[in-house]
Amino acid sequence: MSPVPLTKEPTILHPRPSSIVAALYTLRDLDVDVVILHGPPGCSFKHARLLEEDGLRVVTTALDESGFVFGGHEQLVDLLRRVIEMFNPKRIGIVGTCASMIIGEELHDAVLEVNPDVPVIEVEVHAGYPNNTKGVIITLESALAAGILSEEEFQRQKILLKEATEVEKRHGAASKAYLEPSRGDTKYTVAKRIIQLLKEGKKGITILNAKKETGYMFADINVAVNQAARELGSTSEIINMANLDENLGLDRVRDHARNINRDLKEMGIEIHEVIGGLDEYPIAGETVNRLLAGKYQGFDFAVITGVPHAIPMDNMQGMEVISVTNGPRQVVPLKEMGHEHVVVEIDLHPKTLGVSTIIESEFGATLRQLVREEKE
């Protein structure tokens, strides 16, 4: 019997999300107050600044060339003491960087020397991992060791992260060696098409499959489709599915789901099917697949927001699929999956940091404006 040949994964040439940044966002989700980045001052600058919008303080030991060679243990010890004195945090994170990890800095030695009386999550991570989810797993392992996370939730998160990685390899940003970024179809053109479908009374399904806080803006698009149908007096049957289970995920993630559900209720939008939690976007597609096969056959179109490439196309044959993503490199894979229309909401993620209510998207605003013009 000849051996089964191993499948070689493509070497990804376009920039990829960083494991260090993934660790920062995970610490935020664990309600850490202050994170110390042990490395050069410019490491992860953009995201460190953005996370301030979510109330997370990020400070740096600001290693220079000398620190790259001789280490920065004393700087880390000094900064850890200053952080405790300045901010009186209830929970602290320390994140490694490429520079400090390459020279073998021991984050734990600094923690032992200072001996804080609050939990410290130590994340020994660099940006050299092929999948940024590695940064999340390392962070969660440290949180488990610190007694901040339960074993049950840790195992659940590991399953989700593994599937998130597979989703990106199948149809996402890791599916090809190089993906050309694209702005996709124009919002005007796609909004006009939705209006046409609604005026013809076509049956539609909206699917919110969002990742955590991005749901605050993606949900606006699902809302806009429902409002357009209402305003136009459409006879279309509209079914809404959303990964807004309030009982799944870390506390911060559950809060996002509660906030979005509250706003949807106030707007009179009914969610007919809850397909998972806001951290279950990698696996919620299987639930959608089963629902389409069993309860919702014969629909004419679908509007999918968030992570559309995680929704299988098995039971969408014959449907006109419209998807909205925030990743310019996601346009080509979605078109290849068979999505007729792909819209990109540029800069969606930064706009959803620090918010607690649904905020208007550009596509939602475009659809609403065109509906108003239709009625004039």
DSSP states along 316-351: -TTSEEEEEES-GGGHHHHHHHT-SEEEE-TTHHHH
Task: Fill in the DSSP letter of residue 267.
Answer: T
pLDDT for 1 beyond 60: no
The radius of gyration computed from the CA coordinates of the chain, to the nearest angstrom, equals 23
Tokens of 236: 């279309």
Q: How confident is the model at residue 376 (pLDDT cuts 50, 70, 90)?
A: confident
pLDDT for 101 beyond 60: yes
* Average pLDDT of span 46-54: 93
In the prediction, which pLDDT does 234 show? 98
pLDDT for 307 beyond 70: yes
* Average pLDDT of span 78-102: 98
- For the chain, percent of residues with pLDDT exceeding 70: 97
pLDDT for 99 beyond 90: yes
Tokens of 270: 């009914």
In the prediction, which pLDDT does 5 show? 60
The pLDDT tens digits of the residues spanning 139-178 come to: 999 999 999 999 999 999 999 999 999 999 999 989 999 9
Counting every residue written for the chain, the total comes to 376
The pLDDT tens digits of the residues spanning 56-78 come to: 999 999 999 999 999 999 999 99
Q: How far apart are the first and last CA of the chain?
A: 73
pLDDT for 329 beyond 60: yes
Q: If you write DSSP's letter for every residue of 143-174 in order, what string do you get?
A: HHHTTSS-HHHHHHHHHHHHHHHHHHHHHSTT
* Average pLDDT of span 332-352: 97
The pLDDT tens digits of the residues spanning 343-366 come to: 999 999 999 999 999 999 999 999
Q: How confident is the model at residue 11 (pLDDT cuts 50, 70, 90)?
A: confident
* Average pLDDT of span 200-208: 98
Average model confidence (pLDDT) for the chain?
A: 96
In the prediction, which pLDDT does 375 show? 86
Where does the chain have alpha helices with state H?
19-29, 45-51, 65-70, 73-87, 98-102, 107-114, 133-145, 151-171, 187-199, 215-232, 251-266, 284-294, 331-337, 348-351, 362-375
pLDDT for 189 beyond 70: yes
In the prediction, which pLDDT does 2 show? 58
CA torsion sign for 228, 233, 238, 244 is positive
Q: How confident is the model at residue 8 (pLDDT cuts 50, 70, 90)?
A: low
- Element (DSSP H or E) covering residue 38: strand 34-38
**CA atoms lying within 13 Å on the CB side of residue 241:** 26
pLDDT for 191 beyond 70: yes
- Whether residue 157 contacts residue 38, with contact meaning beta carbons closer than 8 Å, is answered with no
